[in-house]
């Protein structure tokens, strides 16, 4: 398994939430083929979203950026 390569920047990601669809800016992103993993800090937590073909399909909230990145690696391993 190859480690994801994270790039810092401003990444606008479409996210489905209860009540509709919203564009959210994320702080880091890693991409592999048609999959994008995006993380951002929100308060004391870190939010991770995975999108496949620009459609978000997984979401998680973690206590650190490292924990969010580890989860992204796990999701990529089973992708």
Q: How many angstroms separate the Cα of 78 from the Cα of each of 6, 19, 43?
A: 19, 30, 29
Closest of 46, 41, 38 to residue 14, by C-alpha:
38
Asked if the model's pLDDT at residue 23 lies above 60, the reply is yes
- Average pLDDT estimate for 44-52: 95
Closest of 66, 34, 64, 62 to residue 50, by C-alpha:
34
Using pLDDT thresholds of 50, 70 and 90, give the confidence band for residue 22: confident
Asked if the model's pLDDT at residue 79 lies above 90, the reply is no
Q: Give the pair of three-digit tokens for residue 60.
A: 């998680």
* Confidence (pLDDT) at 21: 80
- Identify the weakest region by mean pLDDT among 2-6, 16-20, 37-41: 16-20
Please name the residue ranges forming H helices in the chain.
Answer: 65-77
* Confidence (pLDDT) at 1: 47
């Amino acid at each position: 398994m190859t480690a994801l390569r994270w790039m810092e920047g401003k990444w606008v990601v479409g996210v489905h939430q209860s009540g509709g669809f919203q564009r959210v800016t994320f702080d880091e992103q890693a991409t592999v083929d048609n999959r994008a993993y995006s993380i951002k800090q929100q308060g004391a937590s870190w939010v991770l979203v995975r999108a496949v073909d620009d459609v978000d399909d997984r979401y998680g909230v973690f206590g650190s950026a490292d924990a969010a990145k580890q989860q992204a690696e796990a999701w990529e391993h089973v992708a």
